[in-house]
A = this chain, B = another copy of it.
């Protein structure tokens, strides 16, 4: 246990310990959302607050400040660029941490835990006022946090932009406007076209009625297990469970967890959520870990939440919702249902792609999903920096749902209470979901240039080649780049909405055909 001679080596050991501490929180979070009894919540909140305070201390205390400065001083003109990048990322993060009042960090962790618990109750009983004070507290604390963080930002950013940086480095409202405007302009037309084409089908909608045949919980479980087995799930390194909201989390460098949920009346929900969360987990499992520049350094971390989401959406939408996949999996679903459900494979494919607006984001189709995100993005902008009172959120949510998707939520549980994010104070996170769609589509174009059509690869069960391509081109980049740089590096072009919109337009036509 002798200390390494170089500051670099000592910093490595220090970051390793920091990772240990952070991963303990992940483990408690997983437990909290899968098995913890409800009465355990206050204590769990205190545990997480203690860990958050410790983590903040480790990331801001003088010992670390000195260590980082010493490592920076060791940099030579011919030092590896990875070392320089790692230290730059650590420096930025340190400056952010140092701006924060430790007391705020602890209070935030407790408010998150309380928010989570109250949100679960409020959602069950459709009681927004029960949750509102917790949301108000989270907003206040996050605004305080943004104000404290502003000093560390290399450029001037709005409070929302400041809060979004940890999820999407370098993101700005202006850039999101550029990317989201084509979505806002063109998705409604695509939805209208899907509705119009749907009118010509037997069920009267594009995408069959998924409610026609439900699947028993055990059958859904078996299908999920089969899917994962074919996609490289290794029970020696992975674990899965149920939770109210599906998620993926990494508990250790060799310990990956995913969760799903079974939704009555939605036979594909658990299956597609499993594909989605497994996409996240594959990315985590594929992040660069070996070599002195990676784990536990920043370069071994995910590029951004948008890139993370592009990986889950790739497996969910481009693979599991593809025509070829439907063809291959119909027999297994029919065997699981025990009846000749879902008709032809074209019909089954339509069931996997029900192109019609719905109330719930996580069950949304590919056409309306990004409109859900735009709604949330614009609402949280209003909440964080636009002066929208928390009490007005339900009405404002409903008003915008009607305007954007033509649907009025019958309850807040199906409206502004549906997502866990705000319940944990995650403002600035939602846009990454939409960016994930755009990134996935643009990466897929390049993948097809390299390997041939996705449909052909999926038809012959060559998902391992897809994994291989991602493992070679996308996963190793880690935080050597930001999300947009990753796209430019892999695809040769700046990120845009066009590949996604082109893909969707073609899919609508094929679903009708």
Contacts and interface: CB of A to CB of B under 8 A. Distances in A.
Interface stretch (A17-25, A137-145, A272-280, A382-390): A17-25
A35 B236 contact: no
B50 A254 contact: no
B44 A252 contact: yes
Given A44-B255, A254-B42, A237 B51 contact: no
Interface in A251-269: 251-256
Interface in A23-57: 23-24, 27-28, 30-31, 34-40, 42-44, 46-47, 50-51
Interface string A295-306: 000000000000
A28 B39 contact: no
A40 B103 contact: no
A157 to B, nearest CB: 30
A256 to B, nearest CB: 8
B51 A254 contact: no
B37 A24 contact: no
Contacts of A17: 50
B31 A30 contact: yes
A410 interface: no
User: How many copies make up the complex?
Assistant: 2
Given A20-B46, A47-B20, A50-B20, A38 B252 contact: no
Contacts of A36: 239, 251, 255
Nearest to A39: B254
A-B CB proximity, top 8 nearest? A40-B255, A43-B252, A39-B254, A39-B237, A39-B236, A38-B236, A20-B50, A37-B239
Interface of A: 1, 17, 20-21, 23-24, 27-28, 30-31, 34-40, 42-44, 46-47, 50-51, 103, 235-239, 241, 251-256
22 contacts: A17-B50, A20-B47, A23-B47, A24-B47, A24-B50, A27-B47, A35-B239, A35-B241, A36-B239, A36-B251, A36-B255, A37-B235, A37-B239, A37-B256, A39-B236, A39-B255, A40-B237, A40-B254, A40-B255, A42-B252, A43-B253, A47-B252
